[in-house]
């Protein structure tokens, strides 16, 4: 009998082991981007003050990996043909994502034949009472032709939740590159994993 329980537990745990967290982002894009053909591309920050930051370097590496997967090449000691400009920020979403526990008092009246009864209940929350703050986390990507400054691609991924930007950035990058470049003028929800 114990053998059957072990087999049952294994069949339950295997699908759960494959599950990982995913984040839903709203992705919008506009482009006139030809298919990648080994053009060189450099990832830069929209904000020049971030260009040398460690945070930007980490995000630029994520974007660069995806650009490489779709056929672009990093520049080799010469200016790149294309420039990928990224920007990112987060802002309060305006309301908390969970109303949290609240104290409450309830009064109930009941009757059964000749008897009536009154009951009073009190609910008191224990622990944290402040709900987590929700944020909008936003990543934008533009691809520009270096020679004439013509913009070939504009994309944005936005997601709402309590996680900080460094935690959520791999999800946003994956969301913006799902089915890249996508249909121009489209906006759709994308479920992405890191």
Give the tens place of pLDDT for each residue, 31-51: 999 999 999 999 999 999 999
Q: How many CB atoms lie within 10 A of CB 163?
A: 17
Residue 114 has pLDDT above 50, yes or no: yes
E strands, the chain, in order = 23-31, 41-45, 82-92, 104-112, 115-123, 135-145, 151-161, 186-192
Domains and CATH numbers, the chain: 21-94+133-192 (3.30.160.670)
Residue 14 has pLDDT above 50, yes or no: no
Number of residues written out for the chain: 194
SS3 (DSSP) at 124: coil
- The enclosing H or E element of 7 equals helix 2-17
What is the arithmetic mean of pLDDT over 95-114? 48
HEC per residue, 31-44: ECCCCCCCCEEEEE
pLDDT for 69 equals: 96
151-161 and 186-192 strand pairing = unpaired
Rounded Cα gap, residues 42 and 72, in angstroms: 10
Phi and psi (nearest 5°) for 59? -70, -40
Phi and psi (nearest 5°) for 65? -60, -45
**Which is higher by pLDDT, 4 or 180?**
180
Rounded Cα gap, residues 169 and 63, in angstroms: 10
Residue 59 has pLDDT above 80, yes or no: yes
- Which pTM was predicted? 0.71
Contacts of 108 (CB under 8 A, 6+ apart): 118, 119, 120, 121
pLDDT for 93 equals: 83
Phi and psi (nearest 5°) for 40? -85, 145
142 neighbors 85 (Cβ within 8 angstroms): yes
Give the tens place of pLDDT for each residue, 75-97: 988 999 999 999 999 999 874 43
pLDDT for 6 equals: 47
**Which is higher by pLDDT, 150 or 108?**
150
SS3 (DSSP) at 71: coil
């Amino acid at each position: 009998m114990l053998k059957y329980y072990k087999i049952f537990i294994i069949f339950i745990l295997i699908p759960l082991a494959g599950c990982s967290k995913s984040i839903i982002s709203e992705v919008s894009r506009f482009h006139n981007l030809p298919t990648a053909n080994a053009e060189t591309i450099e990832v830069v920050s929209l904000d020049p003050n971030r260009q040398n930051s460690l945070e930007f370097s980490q995000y630029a590496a994520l974007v660069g990996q995806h650009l490489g997967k779709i056929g672009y090449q990093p520049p080799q000691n010469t200016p790149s043909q294309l420039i990928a400009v990224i920007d990112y920020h987060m802002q309060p979403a305006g309301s908390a994502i969970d109303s949290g526990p609240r104290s409450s008092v309830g009064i109930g009246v009941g009757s059964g034949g000749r008897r009536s009864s009154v009951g009073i209940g009190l609910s008191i929350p224990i622990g944290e009472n402040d709900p987590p703050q929700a944020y909008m986390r936003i990543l934008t990507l533009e691809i520009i032709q270096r020679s004439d400054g013509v913009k070939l691609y504009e994309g944005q991924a936005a997601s709402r939740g309590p996680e900080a930007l460094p935690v959520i950035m791999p999800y946003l990058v994956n969301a913006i590159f799902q089915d890249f470049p996508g249909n121009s003028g489209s906006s759709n929800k994308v479920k992405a994993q890191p």
